[in-house]
Amino acid sequence: MHTTGQILNGSEIFFECLRRENVEYIFGYPGGALLKVYETLHDVEDIRHILVRHEQGATHMAEGYARSTGKPGVVLVTSGPGATNTVTGIANAYMDSTPLVVFTGQVPSSLIGNDAFQEADIVGITRPITKHNFLVKDVKELAITIRKAFYLATTGRPGPVVVDMPKDVLAATCAFEWPETVEIRGFKPTFKCHKNQIEKAAHKIAKAKRPLLYVGGGVITAEASEELRTLATKYNIPVTMTLQGLGAFPGSHPLSMGMLGMHGTYWANQAVNNCDLLIAVGARFDDRVTGKVDAFATQAYKIHNDIDPTNVDKNIKVDLPIVGDSKDFLASLLEEMPEKTESHELWLADIEKWRKKCPLSYSVEPDSLKTEFVIEEVSKQTAGNAVVVTDVGQHQMWTTQYYTFMNPRSIISSGGLGTMGYGLPAAIGAAFGIKDRPVVLFCGDGGFMMNIQELVTAVYCKVPIKIFLINNSYLGMVRQWQELFHKEKYSFTDLAESNPDFVKLAEAFGCKALMADNPENAKEAIRTALAWNEGPVVVDCRVARKEMVFPMVPAGGAISDMLLARLNPKTMV
């Protein structure tokens, strides 16, 4: 620990700042522009550096860590290719409002703009995908810039911040000053909700006959699950959640309706269609949620709480916008609400009817393994208490349907950007953050190959993640769209001929590997995997190849027009 006023070089200042920001882990990869930093790191003992095998892996690990803990994830990469390799992860974190601070090395200040070796204008490249970014031009600015970066990444709507550090700045020296407070005049997020608006909202909720809570990731970020639970249960208001909102309300509760939207439950989407009051909390009316906007919740008076004013009236015009922190919103609302409202029995009975009419279902056959079965079985065996990480595609949507999320910060999934390759590194990052619950990864065979190199990281760090490789040897979601909407032209989605033997592959990485291809051996493999804590384990689940995810709202369709089962594409227009 260094003290204020001490003369330090940029690299020492860098670690001192991280220490003061209580950073536990850095996900990084060394390189030329960072040699000085790694020289200093050699003797740093209180911050753990995780050596990844590709910089994209570092960003997703940092995301997994951030989403599972609520703390900012920290990435350290070199200039040029090191920096550009982080771009997908940064964009992903931006879309899903995940707090990251990404430190990039840069060529020496004197060479910037000269097309120097390993130079890339990473500040320019990441401008549209960061909350903000900085180029540090003077070692005297380094500490305050790092302070600002952490403050910006974690305050208000979280997001990624990039700090670009030229090589000479990291070697230069100055007296270390740690700013205790940070003031950014252009950044003043509104936390406190407007009182009049809250009164109006309480009044509307008290009067509503068919109210519905539509809950997004903002509730989890704001740590407002308790308040949400009180509001919903005290006043009997059903709750539907977005992909990022799952777990905000316990999935086993009778008022939980699961996810809404494109692959949401039939009853959740019917409830949206029929509610007279929609209370959107920390959600942003994403197109995967709304489908055709003109047909979305047309009967409802719409209340929208979000900490980011740009989310209000962006996709859907609302009647009562309330900008502010979701925890403040829910807590203030509870204060304003009357002791008792209507019990909404008829409304809940309607929902029950829809639930019975089109339940989620799949068939169990002795010789064929279904993804739904694997997920449901993992859900049972972990009692809904695992931290569940997914990749992107069919298995991701099935996870939302068949895993019963009981706690907030339990689903870690690439929502906005839909990044294949996210799952494996994100699961590793989550496992660094969470030690008291199992970390489970569901990952398709396509996405698994996109960051397979990080299996090395998991093995050498002995990270006990349970990887359920949902292997249908297809890019299943693309294949589904090809079957439904593109004349069954299965163009470049069949991976059966080219896929490796995943059991052998995992073993080559030094990873425990199992195989399952029917419900019986899957049950057993799941049990074994959940009990194995020496390191990562891969279960190659060879699932039925041509299954499709239903229900489904075709892109741009109204959510009232869900496809409920496999249709014959030849009869479709």
Partner 1 sequence: MKHIISVLVENRFGSLNRVAAMFSARGFNLESISIGETEDPEISRMTIVTRGDDQIINQVLKQLNRLIDTIKVTDLTRQPHVERELLLMTLKLSKTTQHEIFELINVFKGKVVDIKQKSITIEVIGSPDKINTSIDIFKPYGIKELARSGVVAIHRGE
Active site residues: 55, 117-118, 167, 477
Distance CA 465, CA 424 (A): 9
Question: Which residue lies nearer to partner 1 by CB, 132 or 355?
Answer: 132
Q: Which residues contribute to the site for partner 1 (CB under 8 A)?
A: 123-124, 127-128, 131-132, 152, 184-187, 308-310, 312-314, 317
Instruction: Give 268's contacts (C-beta < 8 A, 6+ positions apart).
Output: 240, 257, 258, 259, 260
Least distance from C-beta 124 to partner 1, angstroms? 7
Least distance from C-beta 18 to partner 1, angstroms? 21
Distance CA 437, CA 533 (A): 11
* Whether the Cβ atoms of residue 214 and residue 280 lie closer than 8 Å to each other: yes
> Any idea what DSSP says for residue 353?
H
390 strand-pairing partners = 442
Question: Which residue lies nearer to partner 1 by CB, 184 or 565?
Answer: 184
Question: Which residue lies nearer to partner 1 by CB, 124 or 510?
Answer: 124
Structure tokens at 251: 């999935």
Question: Which residue lies nearer to partner 1 by CB, 127 or 546?
Answer: 127
Least distance from C-beta 99 to partner 1, angstroms? 15
Question: Which residue lies nearer to partner 1 by CB, 153 or 430?
Answer: 153
CB atoms within 10 A of CB 180: 7
Three-state DSSP class for 479? helix
Question: Which residue lies nearer to partner 1 by CB, 130 or 332?
Answer: 130
* Whether the Cβ atoms of residue 469 and residue 516 lie closer than 8 Å to each other: no
Structure tokens at 452: 């397979």
Any idea how long the chain is? 573
Inter-CA distances, 353 with 233, 236, 256, 271, Å: 20, 17, 15, 11
- The DSSP result for 164-214, as a single string, is EEEHHHHH-EEE----SS---TT-----SPPHHHHHHHHHHHHH-SSEEEE
Question: Which residue lies nearer to partner 1 by CB, 163 or 239?
Answer: 163
Question: Which residue lies nearer to partner 1 by CB, 163 or 431?
Answer: 163
Instruction: Give 18's contacts (C-beta < 8 A, 6+ positions apart).
Output: 26, 47, 74, 146
Least distance from C-beta 249 to partner 1, angstroms? 29
- Cis-peptide, bond into residue 366, ω within 30° of zero: no
Question: Which residue lies nearer to partner 1 by CB, 152 or 439?
Answer: 152
Residue 92: which of 469, 364, 416, 385 has the closest Cα?
A: 416
Distance CA 150, CA 155 (A): 8
* Whether the Cβ atoms of residue 371 and residue 545 lie closer than 8 Å to each other: no
378-385's contacts with Cβ under 8 Å and 24+ in sequence apart are: 378/403, 378/440, 378/442, 378/466, 378/468, 378/526, 378/530, 379/403, 379/404, 381/526, 381/527, 381/530, 382/438, 382/440, 382/530, 384/250, 384/251, 384/252, 384/410, 385/410, 385/437, 385/438
Question: Which residue lies nearer to partner 1 by CB, 156 or 258?
Answer: 156
Residue 498: which of 472, 468, 516, 473 has the closest Cα?
A: 473
Least distance from C-beta 192 to partner 1, angstroms? 17
Residue 448: which of 477, 425, 465 has the closest Cα?
A: 425
Question: Which residue lies nearer to partner 1 by CB, 152 or 389?
Answer: 152
Least distance from C-beta 529 to partner 1, angstroms? 43
* Per-residue burial over 419-441, b = 16 or more CB atoms within 10 Å of its CB, e = otherwise: bbbbbbbbbbbbbbbbeebbbbb
> Any idea what DSSP says for residue 297?
S
Least distance from C-beta 308 to partner 1, angstroms? 7
Strands, sheet with 132-135, edge to edge from the N-terminal-most edge strand: 48-51, 25-28, 73-77, 100-106, 160-166, 132-135
Query: Which amino acid is located at 137 in the chain?
Result: K
Least distance from C-beta 79 to partner 1, angstroms? 18
> What distance lies between CA 24 and its chain's CA centroid?
20
Distance CA 558, CA 552 (A): 11
Tell me the pairing of strands 100-106 and 132-135.
unpaired
